[in-house]
Amino acid sequence: MKPLILVDENIPEAELYFENFGRVERFAGRNLTAADLGDAKALIVRSVTKVNATLLSASQVEFVGTCTIGTDHIDKHWLTSQRIGFSSAPGCNANSVVEYVIAALAYAEVDWQNLSFGVVGCGNVGGSVYRALSNLGAEVVGYDPLIDQNKFPIMGSLSDVLSCDVICIHAPLTRDGEFPTQYMIAADELMQLKPGALLVSAGRGAVVNNEDLLTVKKQRSDLRLILDVWAHEPWVCKELLAQAAIGTPHIAGYSWDGKVMGTRMISTALAQFWGAAISSEPASNVVTPSCSRPLPLSSEAWQQVRKIILQSYDIASDDQRLRNLVNNASSREDVERGFDQLRRNYPERREFRFTSPVDKPSDLAARQCLETLGFPFL
């Protein structure tokens, strides 16, 4: 009999990728307990499942995979001590998060050509955001003390990043080490933001102190917020959401293509761990832009670009679904339950390279810009 593989219900195409070498059973990620593991040999999760000794110490699990970039929900040291195999999916949803940021800027009518951008955390996701903005011609500075400082053209201090017009937070959540990130953006950092600054948080919610963020926002109405992640998920503070220009339920990386890439990457890792045959290695999920530096956009061309981006990714609907949930909830439990349902029932969202907008721009600069973002206009 094939070994049992438990897979989070929100991981797409699991049967397609895992059933060649195992029996797939689904589970609700946030509700998994040790008693639910049965005779499972492999556990495939997303970020809502805490994987540690409490969950696995009495189990038969010999491999854990997370179809996510982040690993703060995994006790990797304990897994290593127990000789349990582990793999994450670095880079699987980087394009998805890039496109979330671009769509959010378009929705908020933020023309990236004339602004400075600071990126906190320049790993797989943040690095992709840095490159995408640079390719579009924006001025970008990064902050990440844990990477080679020569990896990107301009790296600076956290203060350098906080002095930019737009600050994009993509750091992983860590609580120890030389540079812990939990609540690294708190009252002191938020008060450094320049007048009219825009803060985009689409990494891990607890990197930003949400209580301080609400307090500072009430004091500084000029600040603008785009929030995909929340410090106390699955709960969302109604007051903080009301202060955000865009608020979404941790779905920046939830494109269909990014999620399927995560499934493929973990299925390959598990197959290799078990010595099973695999049909093919996962393809790269990195978009190679067709034009590294598009021509400057006129006001009219910028509006053409904005329209096509928002036709391809309706970020306004993501925002409205979360607001409807939070505004109509009668209890904290309703919010938490609804937050998970929004993620579980998230509509299929294709990345730009797999979309075909109805309106093709006639303006050359607009076409170059959209091609740089991965749209198939060639």
Residue numbers annotated as active site? 204, 233, 250
Classify residue 358 by its DSSP letter: S
Residues 6+ apart with CB under 8 A from 209: 183, 185, 186, 187, 231
Which ranges constitute the DSSP H helices of 136-228? 158-162, 187-191, 210-219
Of the candidates 305, 317, 315, the residue with the CA atom closest to the CA atom of residue 359: 305
Residue 281 main-chain phi, psi, to 5 deg? -75, 150
DSSP string computed for 244-313 = -SEE-SS-TT--HHHHHHHHHHHHHHHHHHHT---S-PPPP-----S-SSPPPPPHHHHHHHHHHHHHH-
Measured CA distances, 107 to 164, 229, 327, 360, 374 (Å): 20, 18, 22, 19, 18
Count of other CB atoms within 10 angstroms of residue 7: 27
Q: Is residue 7 a contact partner of residue 27, using CB atoms and an 8 Å limit?
A: yes
